[in-house]
Structure 1
Amino acid sequence: MSKPQIDLNDVEVVRIDERYSRQARSLLYHSYRDEPTFKYLLDSHRPGYKQRIRATIRELIRLHFDRGEFVFGVMHKKEERLLGVAFFSDLELKMDISRQLLWRMKMVLTTGFEGTRRFVQYFNEVQESLPAKNHRMVSLIGIHPDFQKQGLGKRLLETIHDLTDKDQNSIGLFLDTGNNRYLEFYKSLGYEVYTELPLGPIQEFVLFRPNPGYVDRAA
């Protein structure tokens, strides 16, 4: 069955709030359920993987909205349907997430101790690999499977790039992925491999897009 084709004139990138949480949860579940990082962190070979990944995404989304982070969505103008979403964080979220007691309690209850331990370790290792200088990070991003490879991911990231490039105090934007199929796409948008981290049986790629407008005031 052929996938529906989208006219880019019918979509726009907008900042969304918690009213779109349910759509965002569903969209990210379909985007991440087969991703190597999530499959390892939540042990996809053990029964209940779908429930664990749904619970993990729910808690991560809740944490972002509770913190008032930027969340951008690719919205179909006529249908008001969310086709893609990106959670866009500052430096502090990656530092804080493993220390959020309530978040950790909910994660343990829904995903189990081992899944929570792996997630905390994963977040810490990614964070420790990043420079101390001010930067931003795309923490979660996904395009509905029916509309992938139609330019929506590029449109979404370009909106984030426009915003981050205006911040002269930020060295740029980071994101990470355990799926090397995405590397060429990210490189085409100006990202470079910043470092690679061993994550169980896979390699997690930390990618960096420098901010062309960054001013090193210390220098």
Structure 2
Amino acid sequence: MMNTSPGISKLSKSDKPLFVSLISRAFSRDPLFLHLFGDSELDSRARANVTAFVSFLFDKSFLLNEEVWGFFDHEGLLGAYIVEKPHTNKLHSMRGGLLLIGRLFPLFFLMSRKTLRLLNSYMRVTRSSVPQWKHHYLIMIGVKPEAQGKGVGKAMLNHLLNTVKADRNSLGVALDTENKENVNMYRRFGFALSREMEFTDLAVYCMFYQKGSSYHGEIPRC
């Protein structure tokens, strides 16, 4: 059942259709999604790939050490984000990883080998740039196109940072973005650029928010 109360709340499995629809639209012009899948607004195959991938990310969050949060108002779900929490239970992560294999099969049948290789390489490269200490990882954050520019993204980021500040197991938040214009936006929230790199001709900006730090410049690469 859809959450109708205003504000930010954790999504349940029943919210999957809302999440998939919102994120698919929010990321339709995202450089990484265009690079991996093609134009989902014009190509039905690209649209099917995006839907399958976003569905996989949602399912994965309930099997691994991740959470999905959404911003609701009277119009419904306006924004959502997925965050990976610091790992404290390796056994739970291993069990989740085994269960996740079943969720991967639809991707193998739907996506090309090239796309799957690119996805795997992207995850490996970006995760190699995060700090070694325990931290949260912002997997994705998106806002419904009609609600963009109305403070939804800001509210969700502040919610995430407040969660991190209250978590004794976390020393910050890592993320990556392919939108150069997002870099300055994240800097305003206290993130620093930790690494800039090229991934198959696509610029990737890895950023980190260090809890308790007021320094908003560059931080050493870890």
TM-score (norm 1): 0.83
1:88-103 aligned within 5 A = 88-91=83-86, 101-103=101-103
Residue 87 of structure 1 aligns to a residue whose secondary structure is: strand
Offset, 1:21: 0.7
- Aligned match of 1:86 in 62, 81, 84? 81
Residue 34 (structure 1) aligned with residue 29 (structure 2): yes
Is the contact made by 1:104 and 1:116 (CA closer than 8 Å) also made in structure 2? no
- Cα distance, 1:82–1:203 mapped onto 2, change above 3 Å: same
Q: Residue by residue, what CA displacement relative to the aligned partner does 1:156-183 show, whole Å, maximum 9, x if unpaired?
A: 1101111101123322001111011212
Q: Residue by residue, what CA displacement relative to the aligned partner does 1:139-160 show, whole Å, maximum 9, x if unpaired?
A: 0210000010111100011011
The structure whose RCO (Cα within 8 Å, separation 6+) is larger is: 1
Aligned to 2:219: none
Identity, % of aligned pairs? 20
Aligned to 1:120: 120
Is the contact made by 2:63 and 2:97 (CA closer than 8 Å) also made in structure 1? no
Paired residue type of 2:185: F
Q: Name structure 1 gaps, 5 residues minimum.
A: 1-9, 214-219
- Aligned match of 1:49 in 46, 50, 54? 46
1:60-75 aligned within 5 A = 60-67=57-64, 69-75=66-72
Is the contact made by 2:38 and 2:46 (CA closer than 8 Å) also made in structure 1? yes
Distance 1:145 1:21 in 2: 18
Q: Residue by residue, what CA displacement relative to the aligned partner does 1:117-155 show, whole Å, maximum 9, x if unpaired?
A: 111110111111112210111102100000101111000
Residue 129 of structure 1 aligns to a residue whose secondary structure is: coil
Residue 14 (structure 1) aligned with residue 9 (structure 2): yes
Residue 131 of structure 1 aligns to a residue whose secondary structure is: coil
Aligned to 2:105: 105
Distance 2:101 2:63 in 1: 14
Distance 1:34 1:135 in 2: 29
Offset, 1:87: 0.6
Residue 203 of structure 2 aligns to a residue whose secondary structure is: strand
